[in-house]
């Protein structure tokens, strides 16, 4: 999908119809190829899902989680929002975490950010962005938590952004570990394990930030221990 | 942590290496291009369900679809997460289409057929979907089974999300100023196929919703 859209209304309508039809054509092509390769593929999927992974990633169009990890449909439960944030008052992400952990019993939760994140960059731009302000505030707070380290990074802003992307992932992974769903499931069953990764566009590879899950969990429990139910 | 748990991670790390290598082989400039930025034409609001990965089922390439996925593809009017995605996609990236896609066999729609306690978080999130079920009780009662009922709830929920989107200021502006269009779809998990929902109560042509 590329190219400049035309400007006269009739052409615009035609253009919209074509790009619209393209999705359906592509989908039909994919479905028939899939069926040819594995005749029982869709019937099996219709029976239910039992993914091992929950992916919390950025909405950015360049990082389709299933494609960059080489997984098939049915293998990864996916939540994507602006800058892969996990805010404790956000019912949207909290429902996803709850459903994935308590109902689907995923084994891994991956918080994945990416270098060159528009959301992180926008958060560092001193500008009123309307409805995006409260959302991006969370990234500004990550900066505040790590102000000394970030301010010390010499040179251009790019290196600072890159580090902020990493620190943001680590903070959001911590937010996942702070949830009752994760703490209680881990105590009881030994999973899920929470990971923090960053995707790089220069090579298409995922970088593991090596979050020490058990260590973080222990530290977090000092203040956020939710394993005891009343 | 047992070793079998960590094997699952090795698997996707290896999968990613294959992805990176194959992508560069097919198009040596792919990552260089993506590094410059994104200009997706479509914003996809879909379900978090693992069986509906948008880029794969639409046979698209990375860079083509901006994505928000949550439980049952809901767009509650007071939800900052989806509102931020819409604002960013419509105002800043200037996508040309917004798709809300529900699907058959949706766990969220299915759970909304009854009032079982799923914990306070999920109960609250699914409350509007359960309200839809109550509102359309007569119609739903006539359907043959729960599969048909949950599919109908999924359809109604897609329409509901579109209603909220139409009132989003950035969406309204983009519809009037540059012909942004909204589309409701249902993905059939058992067939692997997308189906376009006909818009109700609004002017439309060829399945495209346009502002009156």
Q: Cβ contacts of residue B207 below 8 Å, gap of 6+?
A: A20, B183, B196, B198, B199
- The answer to whether A29 contacts B59, with C-beta atoms less than 8 Å apart, is yes
My answer on whether A1 and A60 are in the same domain is no
CATH number, residue A182: 3.40.1050.10
Q: Which residues does chain B have within 8 Å of residue A46's beta carbon, measured at their own beta carbons?
A: 104-105, 189-190
Nearest to B81 among A64, A93, A213 (CB): A93
Both A71 and A41 in one domain: the answer is no
- Evaluate whether residue A202 is within a structural domain: yes
Cβ separation of A69 and B59 shorter than 8 Å? no
Choosing from A28, A62, A137, A140, the catalytic residue is: A62
| Predicted pLDDT of residue B210 | 47
Give domain status of residue A230, yes or no: no
Q: Which of B57, B87, B119 minimises the CB distance to A130?
A: B87
C-alpha to C-alpha distance for B84 and B93, rounded to whole angstroms: 12
**Nearest to A61, CA basis, from B85, B79, B170:** B85
Q: How far is CA A122 from CA A47, A135, B5, B49, in A?
A: 42, 11, 37, 29
* Candidates A50, A92, A104, A121, partner chain B, best to mutate (most B CBs within 10 A): A92
Q: Which helix (H) or strand (E) holds B47?
A: strand B42-47
- Are A90 and B59 in contact by the 8 Å Cβ rule? The answer is no
Question: Could you tell me which residues are beta bridge partners of residue B103?
Answer: B187
Q: How many domains does chain A have?
A: 2
- Tell me how many residue pairs between chain A and chain B have CB atoms under 8 A apart: 260
Q: Which residues of B touch A130 (CB under 8 A)?
A: 87
The whole domain housing A38 covers: 1-48
A109 and A2 inside one domain: no
Residues A130 and A199 in one domain: yes
Does some domain include residue A229? no
Which is it for the CA torsion B6, B9, B15, B21, positive or negative? negative
Burial B104-135 (b: 16+ CB within 10 A, else e): bbbbbbbbbbeeeebeebbeebbebbbebbee
CA distance A58 to A112: 7
How much is the pLDDT for A1?
39
DSSP E strands, B124-180: none
Residues A129 and A215 in one domain: yes
The reply to whether A43 and A63 lie within a common domain is no
Could you tell me if A85 and A41 lie in one domain?
A: no
For residue B163, the SS3 value is: helix
DSSP per-residue letters across A192-209: -EEEEEEE-TTT--EEE-
Instruction: Please give the mean pLDDT across all residues of chain B.
Output: 91
pLDDT per residue rounded down to tens, chain A (230 residues): 344 556 677 777 777 777 778 888 888 998 999 889 988 889 888 888 999 999 999 999 999 999 999 999 999 999 999 999 999 999 999 999 999 999 999 999 999 999 999 999 999 889 999 999 999 999 999 999 999 999 999 988 889 999 999 999 999 999 999 999 999 999 999 999 999 999 999 899 999 999 999 999 999 999 999 998 76
The stretches in chain B having pLDDT less than 50 are 201, 203-207, 209-212
Structure tokens, B137:
């009780």
- Chain-centre distance of CA A71, in angstroms? 15
DSSP A82: G
Nearest CB among B38, B50, B118 relative to A73 is that of B50
pLDDT score of B12: 94
Q: Are residues A5 and A56 in the same domain?
A: no
My answer on whether A43 and A78 are in the same domain is no
CA distance B137 to chain A (A): 25
Residue B10 known to bind ligand: no
Question: Containing H/E element for B84?
Answer: helix B80-87
A157 and A121 within one domain = yes
Co-location of A60 and A32 in the same domain: no
Question: Is A38 found in the same domain as A58?
Answer: no
Last residue of a domain, one of A30, A48, A66: A48
Contact across the interface for A98 and B121, Cβ inside 8 Å: yes
Name the residue with tokens 């970030």: A150
Give the global pTM.
0.92
Please confirm, yes or no, whether A62 is among the known catalytic residues. Answer: yes
Angle formed by the axes of helices A213-224 and A180-189, to 10°?
120
Per-residue confidence (pLDDT) for residue B212, from 0 to 100? 39
What pLDDT is recorded for position B205? 47
Q: Which residues, other chains included, contact A191 with Cβ-Cβ below 8 Å and sequence gap of 6+?
A: A105, A106, A107, A108, A185, B5
ipTM of this complex: 0.91
Q: How far is A131 from chain B (nearest CA, A)?
A: 6
CB-based contact A195:A109 (threshold 8 Å): yes
């Amino acid at each position: 999908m590329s190219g400049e859209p035309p400007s006269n209304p009739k052409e615009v309508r035609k253009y919209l119809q074509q790009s619209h039809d393209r999705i359906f054509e592509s989908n039909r092509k994919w479905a028939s190829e899939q069926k040819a390769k594995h005749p029982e593929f869709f019937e099996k999927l219709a029976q239910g899902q039992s993914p091992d992974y929950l992916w919390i990633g950025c909405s950015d169009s360049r990082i389709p989680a299933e494609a960059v990890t080489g997984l098939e449909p049915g293998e990864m439960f996916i939540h994507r929002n602006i800058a892969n944030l996990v805010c404790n008052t956000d019912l949207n992400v909290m429902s996803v975490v709850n459903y994935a952990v308590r109902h689907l019993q995923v084994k891994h939760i991956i918080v994945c950010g990416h270098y060159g994140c528009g959301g992180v960059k926008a958060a560092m731009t001193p500008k009123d962005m309307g409805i995006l302000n409260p959302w991006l505030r969370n990234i500004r707070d990550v900066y505040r938590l790590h102000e000394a380290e970030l301010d010390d990074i010499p040179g251009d802003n790019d290196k600072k952004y890159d580090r902020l992307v990493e620190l943001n992932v680590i903070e959001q992974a911590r937010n996942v570990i702070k949830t009752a769903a994760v703490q209680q499931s881990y105590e009881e069953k030994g999973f899920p394990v929470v990971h923090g990764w960053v995707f790089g566009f220069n090579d298409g590879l995922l970088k593991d930030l090596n979050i020490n899950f058990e260590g973080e969990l222990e530290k977090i429990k000092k203040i956020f221990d939710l394993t005891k139910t009343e | 942590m047992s070793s079998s748990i960590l094997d699952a991670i090795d698997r996707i790390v290896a999968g990613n290496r294959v992805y990176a290598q194959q992508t560069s082989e097919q198009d040596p400039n792919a990552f260089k291009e993506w590094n410059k930025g994104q200009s997706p034409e479509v914003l996809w609001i879909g379900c978090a369900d693992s069986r509906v990965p948008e880029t794969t089922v639409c046979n698209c390439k990375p860079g083509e679809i901006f994505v928000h996925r949550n439980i049952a593809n809901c767009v509650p009017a007071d939800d900052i997460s989806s509102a931020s995605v819409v604002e960013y996609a419509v105002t800043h990236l200037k996508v040309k289409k917004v798709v809300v896609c529900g699907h058959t066999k949706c766990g969220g729609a299915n759970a909304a057929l009854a009032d079982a306690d799923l914990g306070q978080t999920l109960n609250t999130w699914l409350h509007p979907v359960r309200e839809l079920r109550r509102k359309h009780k007569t119609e739903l009662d006539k359907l043959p089974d729960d599969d048909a009922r949950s599919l109908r709830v999924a359809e109604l929920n897609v329409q509901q999300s579109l209603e909220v989107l139409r009132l989003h200021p950035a969406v309204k502006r983009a519809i009037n100023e540059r012909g942004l269009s909204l589309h409701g779809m249902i993905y059939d998990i058992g067939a692997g196929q997308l189906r376009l929902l006909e818009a109700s109560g609004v002017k439309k042509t060829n399945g495209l919703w346009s502002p009156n």
